[in-house]
A = this chain, B = another copy of it.
Amino acid sequence: MAEDVNTAVEVLQKHHLKITKQRRTMLSFLCQRPDHYTDVTSLDAYMRDFYPGMSHATIYRNVKEFEDLGLVEQQVNGDQARIKFQCDFANMHHHHFICRNCGKVTELTMCPMDFFANQLPGAQIEGHRFEMYGLCADCVAAGAE
Contact = CB atoms under 8 A, between A and B. Distances in A.
A130 B130 contact: yes
| Identical chains in the assembly | 2
B134 A106 contact: no
Which residue among A76, A116, A132, A135 has the maximum number of chain B CB atoms within 10 Å of its CB?
Answer: A132
A57 to B, nearest CB: 17
Interface stretch (A9-17, A63-71, A136-144): A136-144
A60 interface: no
A41 to B, nearest CB: 14
B126 A141 contact: no
A65 to B, nearest CB: 18
B126 A128 contact: no
B119 A109 contact: yes
Interface string A63-104: 000000000000011110000000000000000010110000
Contact of A123 (B97, B116, B121): B97
Interface of A: 76-79, 97, 99-100, 106, 108-110, 112-113, 115-116, 119-137, 140-141
